[in-house]
Amino acid sequence: MRVYREFLRLPHAARLLGGTLLGRLPNGMGALAIVLFTREHGGGYSLGGGLSAIWVVSMALGQPTLGRAMDRFGQPRILFGSAIASAAGFALLAATGLDPLPVAIGAVVAAGFATPPLEAGLRALWPAVLPSPGQVRTAYAVDAAAQEMIFTAGPLLVVAAAIASTEAALVVTGLLGVAGTVVVTSSRPSKQWRGEPREAHWAGPLRSSGLRVLMATLACVGVALGAISVAVVTYADARHLAAASGVLLAANAGGALCGGLVYGARRGGARFPVLVTCLAAGYLPLAAAPAFPLMILLAFLAGVSLAPTLATAFTLVDTLAPRGTVTEAFAWLVTAMALGAATGSALAGIAGDAAGPHAAFACAGVSGLLALAICLLGRPTMLGAPKPRHTSRR
């Protein structure tokens, strides 16, 4: 715990982490808020799910676009402007309802695409804020572990706000994004940060072959996470345990939180391929779908390597991203995992309908193996890049 006390005492560290977590709460709230609003206004589950999917895809596409703008123009203007636009999208949906439907779709697209890229922005800030590479690694680990809180607290906040009305849930979702963004953008590091001069190239960071390998690896991890989120529901239905899905997701998130905190407290880091191997090994036993007590343990163990894997991936970005593209590079990782998660949810749903929870969880295991294969095959490209050119971006 001494490592974390030292970390949080560093100037701006607690403020940036706390503000980013607050501003990212909508990432764990938006999908549920949209579905509840749709159902309250007479729409079916298919419409609610469709609007939610549009929001997720719009957010995934918007992150690298806004990340590129931040690399060029700095953080405050882009983050604050996008937070306001996203909140306006949620408010427009709350005000107009589902009729006319094209307006509702436009509001959802705006709310998703304009989601402020706080996650990418924070990771670009850490090397400028923290004095040593070891503390940057700790920050990435804390960041990766703490994001589990977003997807635990976010849905609870939506349900609480929806007690007043589903319109209130949408508005609160947008306002939390604005509030967290204000905390971050009013800080000195965010105001002072500037991206490095960049070579004009339409592909931005995607011209780095090592970064493309890293993205593909994390996209497969995203597929596994999306598959698990659906597979636990098929398991709960098959076992006739109404609360099983929530318990298993909480156990998986708890494993990620514990793994991230333990990893961040260590002075040395593990190699990325080793961590991806551990992650894949954790996903494979889930396909057995054993009795509930053992399944809780397996879900916990499957989460333990997640945060360390993500933290180590983040440390590679500064090496792999071409000069002046670091924020966009982090945003592409967010997009890769989000699109992977959407794909995994769809695949696990099809597999679950066809063959039950064993097949649904097998999607996560296969995705983990695919992530490992990509990582190992692309290792010379991904880990053979030159060392970072700098340690600060003030």
Q: Domains of the chain, with CATH numbers?
A: 8-195 (1.20.1250.20), 204-385 (1.20.1250.20)
Distance CA 394, CA 189 (A): 8
pLDDT for the residue 392: 41
What pLDDT digit, counting tens, does each position of 330-362 carry? 999 989 998 898 888 889 989 998 899 999 999
The answer to whether the CB of 145 falls within 8 A of the CB of 307 is: yes
Q: Which residue type sits at 244?
A: A
Say what the pLDDT of residue 24 is: 94
d(CA 103, CA 123): 35
213-265: pLDDT as tens digits:
999 999 999 999 989 988 988 898 899 987 888 789 888 988 998 998 888 87
Per-residue pLDDT reduced to its tens digit, 177-195: 999 999 999 999 999 988 7
Contact between 326 and 124 under an 8 Å Cβ cutoff? The reply is yes
CA distance 11 to 23: 20
Kindly report the backbone phi and psi dihedral angles of residue 360, in degrees, each rounded to the nearest multiple of 5, phi listed first.
Answer: -65, -45
Residue 144's pLDDT is: 81
**Distances 176 to 125, 132, 171, 194, 290 between C-alpha atoms, Å:** 21, 32, 9, 26, 40
- Give yes or no for a contact between 193 and 74, defined as CB atoms under 8 angstroms apart: yes
**E strand or H helix that includes residue 11:** none
Question: According to the model, what pLDDT value does residue 387 have?
Answer: 46
> Is 1 a residue whose pLDDT tops 70?
no
What whole-number distance in Å separates Cα of residue 168 and Cα of residue 33?
Answer: 9
What are the residues whose beta carbons fall under 8 Å from the beta carbon of 238, sequence distance 6 or more? 289, 356, 357
Confidence of residue 388 (pLDDT cuts 50, 70, 90): very low
DSSP-derived secondary structure letter, 196 = P
DSSP conformation class of 220: H
pLDDT at 363 over 80: yes
Report whether pLDDT(21) > 70.
yes
Q: Choose among 120, 113, 24, 137: nearest CA to 327.
A: 120
Short-list 305, 297, 223, 293, CA closest to 259: 305
What pLDDT is recorded for position 276? 96
Q: pTM to 2 decimals?
A: 0.82
pLDDT value, residue 11 = 79
Burial of 145 (0-12, 13-18, 19+ CB in 10 A): buried
* Mean pLDDT score of the chain: 88
Give the rounded percent of residues in the chain with a pLDDT score beyond 90.
52
Q: pLDDT at position 389, please?
A: 44
pLDDT-derived band at 112, boundaries 50, 70, 90? very high
For residue 89 the two structure tokens come to: 């999208």
Residues of the chain with pLDDT > 70: what percent? Answer: 94
Residue 255 to residue 252: CA distance in whole angstroms: 5
Residue 290 pLDDT > 60:
yes
Return the pLDDT at 367: 97
Spatial separation of the C-alpha atoms in residues 253 and 117, rounded to whole Å: 22
